[in-house]
């Protein structure tokens, strides 16, 4: 039992280490799509974060201080835009800074906060307030509402809005602007029926108003699209919450690791459905829906290849045909699978397409399987002069060990063949899913695939309990 | 003799069809690029094996752990995805040689670490090699597992990257094969596939003839 626990702990440690290494590779894909759009602003946010270490973490306080410094130095439209984006969450810090700022800086600060006051409902959008009055309005608004800028109040008001969409409740939440974003997004329910859809519609509308994002659920939005939008909001918040909140104490220390691209990805692994991809679809469900055709092709190909290899080995040993399959095997093994996939015309019938794809995948594995079986060490099953039944369990295990030995190094090539075969035959499996994810630069989706492959290979290793020979020269010395 | 004549005839026919299909200049460029890629990948593979012979007993454990982790990472990613992850505007030929060579090097290093050659083992190699240092013998021994597969892997990866549109087409067989596959010109694939098979079989024959002694 202790050995098993130790082994599981070691597997977990390996999984963490390997996921780090894989992430270092896969996350490079995101930077190949440098043009951020509003639709993909979750990727934009992710790409702006450091990959593994965020030191020092930039929270709301840091960001506001940076913008204030810029405004103190002179005109800065960028800083004004950033303060307007940070919105109500930054209002307290801005009001504090206003008291100590020079008249020019105060003027720029107040001008920057005018859009926020408009969103809060303190100003009419059509009003053009002179800058000397803007500061007065800002101070008045803060004095009037500062007591409401508390998490407890935000939670209560958001809860009330979720229950019923009265105009008064909408304006209450709007007053808090971006300060309420965390509560709004936390309160968004997964959309399962019309009731949860209505609740999500009210909350997404309020969040969209504060954050300036277009992810709003409308009257005719289908349930699954609405659910995808809710998941997209949640993902967006995990990426951007640091911009709207302040870090204190241990949270600041933890943020060094958690507020990174890798930290965010790990957080999505523990969310329902493995989070969402960049199209707003839950990753787990889209991955599972792509799995069946790929599983048929992979397992069919592997089993077919191993069946053929076992038959060939048996024929060679029983009929003394040592040269059987030697040349033909080498020739088949030298043909790039991509050529095989491109050569065979995809039939119209989907079942025939699946069968043909299985044959191509099987052909690429057959040579490796034949060589492993022909080596004899893994195939006691066909030993002459022994009763196979006596050794069946042991031999099957050896056969499986041989299978995994051959499959291990060939796995990445096998997956490449799968991607190409599905691309060639128009199958909508894992290959097509991967191609689409690469096109989007969707790191979370590709990491889910990588994690799946890692887990599969590790569980296979654990199940087979493969004995690993120690590295020569590193055996512990016996006491002498 | 009969077999050699058959191989030479096949090579001549392949080259003739290749020239007819792509023109002399392009065919020459394709052949030279492909040969260079395959040789570079094989050199990297041999280097991986040679490193294990140079490692001290104290570093062998660390080397084994690093190689195992490397194999696990590359094992979790489809090769074509791995290639696109490390792609940074370098030429597709270089990328392909680098990726195939690195994977081969990891594999060869693993084999050489688990089943190391000893000084006495050099007797199994041809006489000219038996007197050479152990690392050179180990490097050539490391090629054994890859020699057949490397041409197909180099051409296949280049073709896959081109076909999926993930990297610009190179001048080699892989790039051309990918372009033809994309256009659906199935018959034109024949000389490239035949060339790959012949290259693979020739490399294997050379290895068997010059680098391993009959046991």
Asked if B192 is an interface residue toward chain A (Cβ–Cβ < 8 A), one would say yes
CA distance B194 to chain A (A): 8
B62-80 exposure pattern, b = at least 16 Cβ within 10 A, e = fewer: ebbeebbebbbbbbbbbbb
Split at pLDDT 50, 70, 90, the class of A70 is very high
Q: Are B153 and A339 in contact (CB under 8 A)?
A: no
Q: How many angstroms separate the CA of residue A468 from the nearest CA in chain B?
A: 9
Positive or negative, the CA dihedral A34, A40, A46, A48 is positive
Q: Which residues of B are less than 8 Å from A420 in CB distance?
A: 80, 160, 163-164
Residue A398 pLDDT exceeds 70 = no
Asked if A338 and B196 count as a contact pair (C-beta separation under 8 A), the reply is no
Residue of A333, A337, A473 lying closest to B148 (CB–CB): A333
Q: Considering only CB atoms, which chain A residues are within 8 Å of B80? A: 416, 419-420
Q: How far apart are CA B48 and CA B44, in angstroms?
A: 6
What is the ipTM score, two decimals? 0.90
Tokens of A378: 């893994």
Using the predicted structure, report yes or no on whether residue B177 has a pLDDT greater than 60.
Answer: yes
B162 touches A at CB < 8 Å: no
Residue B153 at interface with chain A, using a CB cutoff of 8 Å: yes
- Any chain A CB within 8 A of the CB of B89? no
How confident is residue A32, by pLDDT bands cut at 50, 70 and 90?
A: low
Q: Return the higher-pLDDT residue of A41 and A86.
A: A86
Phi-psi domain of A121 (left: phi exceeds 0; alpha: psi -120 through 50; beta: other): left
Give yes or no for residue A387 having a pLDDT over 60: no
Measured distance CA(B102)–CA(A25) in Å, rounded: 15
Instruction: Report the percentage of chain B scoring pLDDT > 90.
Output: 28
* Contact status, residue A275 vs residue A283, Cβ threshold 8 Å: yes
Chain A neighbors of B177, CB-CB under 8 A? 336, 338-339, 342
- Nearest Cα neighbor of A366 from A340, A396, A394, A387 is A340
Q: Is the pLDDT of residue A467 over 50?
A: no
Q: Give me the pLDDT at residue A43, please.
A: 53
Helix, coil or strand: residue B77? coil
Q: Phi, psi (5° rounding) for residue A297?
A: -65, -45
Highest mean pLDDT, choosing among A49-58, A328-337, A408-417:
A49-58
pLDDT band with cut points at 50, 70 and 90 for residue A402: low
Chain A CB contacts of B147 below 8 Å = none
Name the band, by pLDDT with cuts 50, 70 and 90, for residue B143: confident
**Could you tell me the pTM of the whole model?**
0.80
pLDDT surpassing 50 at residue A383: no
User: How many angstroms separate the CA of residue B159 from the nearest CA in chain A?
Assistant: 7
Q: What is the mean pLDDT of residues A333-349?
A: 80
Angle, CA B194 vertex, CA B188 and CA B195 arms, to 5°: 100
Using 50, 70 and 90 to split pLDDT, how confident is the model at A152? very high
Q: CA–CA separation, A190 vs A197, rounded Å?
A: 8
**Residue A35 binned pLDDT confidence (cut-offs 50, 70, 90):** very low
What ranges make up the beta strands (E) of B150-215? none
Give the CA distances from residue A190 to residues A86, A271, B59, in Å, rounded to whole numbers and listed in that order: 27, 12, 53
pLDDT tens digits along A420-466: 989 888 888 999 999 999 988 888 899 999 998 888 888 877 776 65
Considering chain A, what is the average pLDDT of its residues?
81
How far apart (Å, rounded) are the C-alpha atoms in residues A298 and A357? 9
Q: What is the pLDDT of residue A397?
A: 61
Instruction: Show which of residues 299-358 on chain A sit within 8 Å of chain B, judged by CB atoms.
Output: 330-331, 333-339, 341-343, 345
With contact defined as beta carbons under 8 Å apart, do A227 and A197 qualify? no
B2, B41, B59, B80, best to mutate vs chain A, most A CBs in 10 Å: B80
How far is the C-alpha of A396 from the C-alpha of A402, rounded, in Å? 10
Least confident among A161-165, A363-367, B15-19: A363-367
Over range B40-45, report the average pLDDT. 95
User: So what's the pLDDT on residue A469?
Assistant: 46
A236-268: pLDDT as tens digits:
888 888 889 988 888 889 999 988 889 988 988
Closest C-alpha among A23, A472, A345 to residue B110:
A472
| Cβ–Cβ < 8 Å for A405, A365 | no
Alpha helices in A217-275 (DSSP H): 223-240, 250-258, 261-269
Of A319 and A382, the one with more pLDDT: A319
Residues 6+ apart with CB under 8 A from B204: A330, B147, B148
Q: What share of chain A has pLDDT > 90, as a percent? A: 27
Q: Does position B166 have pLDDT exceeding 80, yes or no? A: yes
- Rounded to 5 degrees, what are φ and ψ at A339? -70, -40
């Amino acid at each position: 039992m202790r050995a098993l626990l130790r082994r599981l702990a070691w597997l977990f440690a390996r999984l963490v280490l390997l996921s780090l290494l894989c992430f270092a590779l896969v996350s490079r894909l995101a930077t190949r799509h440098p043009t951020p759009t509003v639709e993909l602003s979750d990727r934009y946010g992710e790409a702006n974060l450091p990959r593994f270490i965020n030191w020092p973490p930039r929270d709301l306080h840091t960001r506001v201080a940076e913008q204030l410094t810029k405004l103190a130095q002179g005109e800065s439209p960028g800083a004004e835009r950033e303060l307007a984006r940070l919105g109500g969450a930054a209002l307290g810090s801005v009001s504090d800074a206003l008291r100590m700022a020079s008249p020019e800086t105060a003027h720029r600060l107040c001008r920057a906060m005018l859009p926020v006051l408009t969103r809060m409902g303190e100003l009419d959008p059509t009003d053009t307030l002179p800058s000397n009055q803007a500061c007065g309005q800002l101070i008045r608004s803060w004095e009037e509402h500062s007591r409401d800028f508390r998490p407890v109040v935000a939670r209560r008001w958001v809860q009330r809005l979720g229950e019923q969409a009265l105009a008064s409740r909408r304006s209450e939440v709007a007053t808090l602007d971006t300060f309420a974003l965390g509560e709004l997004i936390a309160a968004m329910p997964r959309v399962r029926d019309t009731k949860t859809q209505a609740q999500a519609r009210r909350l997404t509308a309020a969040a969209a108003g504060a954050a300036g994002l277009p992810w709003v659920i409308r009257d005719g939005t289908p349930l699954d699209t609405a659910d995808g939008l809710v998941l997209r909001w949640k993902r967006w918040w995990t990426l951007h919450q640091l911009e709207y909140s302040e870090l204190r104490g241990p949270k600041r220390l933890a943020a060094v690791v958690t507020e990174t691209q890798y930290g965010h990805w790990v957080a999505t692994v523990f969310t329902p459905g493995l989070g969402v991809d960049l199209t707003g679809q839950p990753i787990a469900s889209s991955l599972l829906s792509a799995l069946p055709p790929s599983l048929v092709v992979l397992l069919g190909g592997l089993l077919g290849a191993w069946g053929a290899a076992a038959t060939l080995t048996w024929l060679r040993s029983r009929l003394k045909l040592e040269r059987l399959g030697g040349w033909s095997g080498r020739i088949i093994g030298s043909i790039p699978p991509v050529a095989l996939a491109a050569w065979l015309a995809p039939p119209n019938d989907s079942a025939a397409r699946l069968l043909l794809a299985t044959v191509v995948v099987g052909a690429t594995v057959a040579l490796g399987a034949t060589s492993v079986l022909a080596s004899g060490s893994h195939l006691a099953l066909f030993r002459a002069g022994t009763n196979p039944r006596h050794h069946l369990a042991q031999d099957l295990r050896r056969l499986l060990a041989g299978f995994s030995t051959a499959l291990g190094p060939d796995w990445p090539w096998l997956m490449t063949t799968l991607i190409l075969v599905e691309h060639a035959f128009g199958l909508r499996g894992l290959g097509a899913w991967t191609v689409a994810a690469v096109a989007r630069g969707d790191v979370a989706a590709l990491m889910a695939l990588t994690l799946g492959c890692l887990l599969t290979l590790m569980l296979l290793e654990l199940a087979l309990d493969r004995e690993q020979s120690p590295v020569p020269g590193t055996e512990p010395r016996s006491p002498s | 003799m009969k077999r050699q004549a058959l191989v030479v005839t096949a090579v001549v026919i392949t080259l003739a069809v290749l020239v007819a299909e792509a023109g002399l200049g392009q065919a020459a460029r394709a052949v030279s690029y492909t040969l260079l890629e395959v040789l570079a990948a094989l050199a990297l593979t041999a280097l991986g094996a040679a490193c294990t012979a140079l490692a001290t007993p104290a570093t062998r454990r660390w080397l084994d752990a690093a190689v195992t982790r490397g194999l696990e990472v590359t094992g979790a990613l489809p090769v074509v995805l791995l290639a696109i992850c490390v792609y940074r505007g370098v030429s597709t030929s270089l990328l392909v040689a680098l990726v195939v060579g690195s994977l081969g090097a990891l594999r060869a290093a693993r084999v050489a670490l688990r089943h190391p050659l000893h000084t006495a083992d050099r007797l199994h190699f041809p006489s000219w090699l038996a007197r050479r240092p152990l690392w050179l013998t180990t490097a050539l021994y490391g090629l054994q597992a890859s020699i057949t597969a490397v041409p197909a892997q180099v051409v296949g990866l280049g073709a896959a990257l081109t076909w999926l549109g993930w990297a610009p087409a190179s001048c080699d067989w892989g790039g051309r094969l990918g372009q033809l596959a994309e256009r659906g010109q199935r018959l034109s694939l024949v000389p490239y596939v035949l060339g790959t098979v012949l290259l693979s079989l020739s490399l294997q024959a050379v290895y068997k003839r010059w680098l391993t002694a009959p046991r």
